[in-house]
Chain A
């Protein structure tokens, strides 16, 4: 027993994190929760990584690890990236929060950035985006394009980020069509093309003439195209999956953020902090409109985006009532960031349960 134990411990006795010297290009690594694919959450981060490569060229050396489980494996991958001499590591999924902090503690000279989390340290920054701002504008677009005033919303899990999007979309739609209704269905999976397709089929059959989604595949845009309903895609531009009917997409754009942070790290001005950017910072955008969107509508939606960017229009400005008709935000007021971040309720006009 004792010998067995010491056998196991012997090699570990020399366990010291070796830190490669950062001579030459800054080494930057990304940890992805799913395969890169060609659309979706991870793909947008990958676009950001490629933008860093394109912008900074020989000054950086970037790499990524895809499909990293959010369990015990994440910590090992992050640590390996740190020991391999990466100076700046982006961990791009919520489930990496605690592993990122643990590794960061052991590598005080390395810099870490965790997407969508809420725990920070001197060398761990957090960043996320107010995708709900883009969702609001998408709601306005949906409201203008819809004949039935019924929207289908295919969502994975009722976490705040998803609920923010559903509520903002509905508020945007109701700003142009006060009778608009958003029907929400849950797929319980970030990625299941078949299930997303079945959900879209159901919603379209039930009278929704614009469908949108908060899932990771392109199945919803495809389903809508086949059935002749409009869709508003999420994460990535999916126009090629819905050439006639995909009105636009609420896209994520990390390019400028990543370039800025990497530049700061090279210049030695990198500091921990929390960024929650939106339309103004260009972190959420609308993809180019489909030909089906009339000029007048484009102008209006562009106007909404501009107003949100300028801060003159806030998606969660009152009056806002919840599903029971109770006032959540009084007229003249707006929901505080903290309440937006913790959102766990639906606005009036959403059909479905959290």
Chain B
């Protein structure tokens, strides 16, 4: 068996490959459920269908997919320019910290301007943290893939220090938390009784904007040229440094927006644990979505569904969380692997000479 590169990505396979991966993962999951002594059919139902059976499930799905999508969009724009921001987790955290700081600083101030200020601070906080990586890359040539990763861990520790020190709630019995934000600093909920905020709308709006940026604008063209052919880009006068700055500020800003929306939305205060790894999961979302904004929308929803289904497996099937983790990992690995079918054609046997040219073992 060998792989042969397609002239262009297969549209059929673009749809078929993830379906195939899902089927494989579902089969694997069914075996696992059976091994654990559960009914595979009802477990699969719990995992993939039950979370979507009521309106509340859909709203929670949107809530969970929003930060994943926002972070993934920024990451994907960067990847197009060969700028690897794998530290969305840190920018998410810094966005939450900056937005939270403004919300706490404004305190009981009322007015329409409070929320925009909070959100803006969040975007700036995330962008600034991305900017650190951009500065180190453009000034010192330090590779952002490593710098952004390291900055993530630093951001989480800084948050831990802030909520136990300078930003701690003075009336909180010395527990690690800040005051709760006032209503004026909180994002409006889309529908009474649910937790989805307008952040979901931000994420949905960001999808066509990202598509437009990459597809139609000169800036997007430059970004892609820098990513594909840095030499040619330099020749054409496109700045590689400029692309680095744009990508890291943009993806940092989007991750920061996701962060501030999380604390000014469902959480409502700063605590040591505001992200269950959204920034890292978003990297997987970006690649599952093949770096296309619409693809990432689907990928983010699928990822969110996996989280909800995993909770369902615990609650209704009394399965350990680890079982859900195995299935999640398995599905992701299958999906990443199946993607090969869109770009490559699988050939069995074939002319020897040809095989030699295309195999690379």
A and B touch in the complex (CB under 8 A): yes
Q: Which residue of B lies closest to A67 (CB)?
A: B321
Interface residues of B in 159-214 (CB under 8 A from A): 160, 164, 173-177, 180, 190-191, 193-196, 200-201, 204-205
Q: Is the CB of A15 within 8 A of B59?
A: yes
Chain B, interface SS category: helix
Query: Chain B residues near A118 (CB, 8 Å)?
Result: 173
Q: Determine whether B44 belongs to the interface, using a CB cutoff of 8 Å to chain A.
A: no
Closest approach, in angstroms, between the C-beta of B301 and any C-beta of chain A? 12
Q: Which of B117-125, B246-254, B309-317, B342-350 interfaces with chain A? A: B309-317
Query: Chain A residues near B308 (CB, 8 Å)?
Result: 76
Size of the chain B interface, CB-CB below 8 angstroms: 50
Closest approach, in angstroms, between the C-beta of A175 and any C-beta of chain B? 26
Interface residues of B in 223-272 (CB under 8 A from A): 262, 265-269, 271-272
Q: Write the A73-92 contact mask toward B (1 if CB under 8 angstroms, else 0).
A: 10111011101100000000
Q: Determine whether B328 belongs to the interface, using a CB cutoff of 8 Å to chain A.
A: no
Query: Chain B residues near A344 (CB, 8 Å)?
Result: 174
Q: Is the CB of A63 within 8 A of B315?
A: yes
Q: Determine whether B62 belongs to the interface, using a CB cutoff of 8 Å to chain A.
A: yes
Q: Which residue of A lies closest to B274 (CB)?
A: A71
Interface residues of A in 21-39 (CB under 8 A from B): 29, 35
Interface residues of B in 264-313 (CB under 8 A from A): 265-269, 271-276, 307-308, 311-312
Q: Determine whether B357 belongs to the interface, using a CB cutoff of 8 Å to chain A.
A: no
Q: Which residue of A lies closest to B207 (CB)?
A: A4
Q: Is the CB of B195 within 8 A of A81?
A: no
- Interface centre among B267, B274, B322, by most chain A C-beta atoms within 10 angstroms, is B267
Interface residues of A in 1-60 (CB under 8 A from B): 1, 4-5, 8-9, 11-18, 29, 35
Q: What's the Cα separation between A188 and B63 when bound, in Å?
A: 30
Q: Which of A157-165, A229-237, A238-246, A282-290 interfaces with chain B? A: A157-165
Q: Is the CB of B273 within 8 A of A8?
A: no
Asked whether A4 and B311 contact (CB < 8 A) given A15-B56, A15-B191, A71-B273, the answer is: no
Q: What's the Cα separation between A69 and B321 when bound, in Å?
A: 12
Q: Is the CB of A98 within 8 A of B311?
A: no
Q: Which residue of A lies closest to B67 (CB)?
A: A72
Q: What's the Cα separation between A81 and B58 when bound, in Å?
A: 17
Q: Is the CB of A159 within 8 A of B174?
A: yes
Q: Is the CB of A12 within 8 A of B55?
A: yes
Query: Chain B residues near A98 (CB, 8 Å)?
Result: 180, 268-269
Q: What's the Cα separation between A76 and B312 when bound, in Å?
A: 11
Size of the chain A interface, CB-CB below 8 angstroms: 47
Query: Chain A residues near B55 (CB, 8 Å)?
Result: 11-15
Asked whether A65 and B268 contact (CB < 8 A) given A71-B275, A343-B174, the answer is: no
Q: Determine whether A226 belongs to the interface, using a CB cutoff of 8 Å to chain B.
A: no
Q: Determine whether B60 belongs to the interface, using a CB cutoff of 8 Å to chain A.
A: yes
Q: Determine whether A94 belongs to the interface, using a CB cutoff of 8 Å to chain B.
A: yes
Q: What's the Cα separation between A93 and B8 when bound, in Å?
A: 53
Q: Determine whether B320 belongs to the interface, using a CB cutoff of 8 Å to chain A.
A: yes
Q: Of B174, B265, B268, B271, which is within 8 A of A70 by CB? A: B271
Asked whether A66 and B63 contact (CB < 8 A) given A4-B204, A11-B55, A342-B174, the answer is: no
- Interface centre among A4, A9, A69, A84, by most chain B C-beta atoms within 10 angstroms, is A9
Q: Determine whether A341 belongs to the interface, using a CB cutoff of 8 Å to chain B.
A: yes
Q: Which residue of B lies closest to A63 (CB)?
A: B318
Q: Determine whether A193 belongs to the interface, using a CB cutoff of 8 Å to chain B.
A: no
Q: Determine whether A95 belongs to the interface, using a CB cutoff of 8 Å to chain B.
A: yes
Q: Which residue of A lies closest to B56 (CB)?
A: A15
Query: Chain B residues near A8 (CB, 8 Å)?
Result: 62, 190, 196, 200-201, 204
Interface residues of B in 96-132 (CB under 8 A from A): none
Q: Is the CB of B315 within 8 A of A159?
A: no
Q: Write the B37-68 contact mask toward A (1 if CB under 8 angstroms, else 0).
A: 00000000000000000111011101100000
Q: Of A66, A94, A342, which is within 8 A of B321 by CB? A: A66
Q: Write the B56-94 contact mask toward A (1 if CB under 8 angstroms, else 0).
A: 101110110000000000000000000000000000000
A-to-B contact residues, CB < 8 Å? 1, 4-5, 8-9, 11-18, 29, 35, 63-67, 69-73, 75-77, 79-81, 83-84, 94-95, 98, 106, 118, 157-160, 188, 341-344
19 A-B interface contacts by CB (under 8 A): A1-B205, A8-B190, A12-B55, A12-B56, A15-B54, A15-B56, A15-B59, A35-B320, A63-B318, A69-B276, A71-B276, A72-B195, A76-B195, A83-B56, A95-B177, A95-B271, A98-B180, A159-B175, A159-B176
Sample of 19 further A-B pairs with CB below 8 A, known A71-B274, A157-B176: A8-B196, A8-B204, A12-B190, A13-B55, A14-B54, A15-B55, A15-B59, A15-B191, A16-B193, A35-B320, A35-B321, A65-B311, A65-B315, A70-B271, A72-B262, A73-B311, A76-B63, A95-B273, A159-B174
A-B interface, 9 closest residue pairs, ranked by CB to CB distance from nearest:
A72-B266, A15-B55, A12-B191, A69-B276, A11-B55, A11-B58, A70-B273, A65-B314, A12-B55
